[in-house]
Amino acid sequence: MIHHPLASANPAVLRILDANFDRAREGVRIIEEWCRFGLNHTEFAAECKAIRQELGRWQSPEIRAFRDTPGDPGTELSHPQEETRASVTQVLTANFCRTQEALRVLEEYAKIENAEMAIACKHLRYRVYTLETNLSGHQRFQKLQKAQLYLVTSEVEDLFGTVEAALQGGLPLVQYREKNADDLTRLHRAKKLREICHQYDALFIVNDRIDIALAADADGVHLGQEDLPVAIARNILGAHRIVGRSTTNPEEMERSLAEGADYIGVGPVHETPTKAGKAASGLEYVRYAAERSTIPWFAIGGINTDNIQEVLNAGATRVSVVRALMQAPNPTLTAQFFQAQLTRSHPHS
């Protein structure tokens, strides 16, 4: 332990420092455990450990000596949101917030006692911000690799209820697509859908609108062939969000791969009212994608519970659906059916 001389040794300030060193170290340790055992990610786990050790070096015996847990009125305080977590994502989000808040408190109160400590805590806070961004991006792309079923929304009476019912059936990926609403309505619905998706640890993508995706804190955006280039979308959204692209033929697929899309849609396999007037690309394009695509791809276009098997037989390992889920009498059971078919045909995809 390195000794760091303190200026005033104000008991209240030292209690604040001690409590927030504990809070920050605990928060980082919770994040570290997921990086180590959940993600098996050596670099993230090592960064967490380094941050914890740096905090430990500053939490001197002189600071610890002012700890008074029995006399702390805050130990009895709680909030219903702190008593349950619906997912690992919520655990990580809560503990990143906890750590960042603690580091900000440390930075401000350390200015009274030790300017060097304040600067160190400021730098640690920025490292935690960077870790959160990198970890979020890593988890997004990991979820994308594992996802086999992708829902693209359509306009229905109960949008939120329908999507949540499908998520309850194990749906891992949702794209919000709506062409006729005004921007404020789109933003409101996108934020609500993102909240619902994240409750179920599912990815949330916005169709076409990069600005709505960014404002709603979506996991990414899906672009058509006539939308902005992938590189521009990535510059706007950042490197840690997903950018997908629709393709209808081998030339568009090859161009999207060269652009650096994270995934592509392959279709329409069958003619569909979602893409009125667009000729079906058929199963031949599915077979082509199965042989040539080097990134995740989702067969899309008129796929339903009756014809999914022929799409899987053509080589698809992932499918995207619209009406088959949005208009299903029971979206939960339908999502479970699709998931079962996909897993049975391609268990290791």
d(Cα 288, Cα 41) in Å, to the nearest integer? 34
Which of the listed residues 122, 141, 160 is the one where a domain comes to its end? 141
* 246 flagged as catalytic: yes
In the structure encoding, which two tokens stand for residue 289, read together? 């994608």
Whether 60 and 178 map to the same domain: the answer is no
pLDDT more than 70, % of the chain: 93
With CA atoms as reference, report the closest residue to 138 among 32, 261, 241.
241
* 143 flagged as catalytic: no
Higher pLDDT, 82 or 84: 84
Q: Which of 15, 125, 186, 246 is an active site residue?
A: 246
Provide CB contacts within 8 A for 258, sequence distance 6+.
Answer: none
Q: Check if the beta carbon of residue 28 is closer than 8 Å to that of residue 52.
A: yes
* Angle value at C-alpha 153, between 228 and 338, nearest 5 degrees: 115
| 257 within domain boundaries | yes
Q: Which of 177, 186, 189, 241 is an active site residue?
A: 177
In the structure encoding, which two tokens stand for residue 298, read together? 């989702």
Whether 89 and 46 map to the same domain: the answer is yes
pLDDT of residue 6: 75
82: pLDDT confidence band, cut at 50, 70 and 90?
A: low
pLDDT more than 90, % of the chain: 84
- Which residues form the domain of 151? 147-345
Which of the listed residues 78, 113, 141 is the one where a domain comes to its end? 141
Instruction: Find residue 178's DSSP bridge partners.
Output: none
Q: What is the pLDDT of residues 100-131, one digit of tens each?
A: 999 999 999 999 999 999 999 999 999 999 99
For position 197, which CATH number holds?
A: 3.20.20.70
* 192 flagged as catalytic: no
Which of the listed residues 94, 119, 141 is the one where a domain comes to its end? 141
| 158 within domain boundaries | yes
Q: Which of 52, 209, 275, 318 is an active site residue?
A: 275
pLDDT of residue 80: 61
84: pLDDT confidence band, cut at 50, 70 and 90?
A: confident
Q: What is the pLDDT of residues 309-343, one digit of tens each?
A: 999 999 999 999 999 999 999 999 999 999 999 99
pTM, rounded to two decimals: 0.84
With CA atoms as reference, report the closest residue to 159 among 201, 191, 184, 183.
191
Query: What is the number of domains present in the chain?
Result: 2
Whether 208 and 314 map to the same domain: the answer is yes
Alpha helices in the chain (DSSP H): 11-33, 42-58, 61-64, 80-83, 88-113, 115-146, 159-168, 183-199, 210-215, 230-237, 250-259, 282-292, 308-313, 323-326, 331-345
pLDDT of residue 272: 75
In the structure encoding, which two tokens stand for residue 23, read together? 């809070």
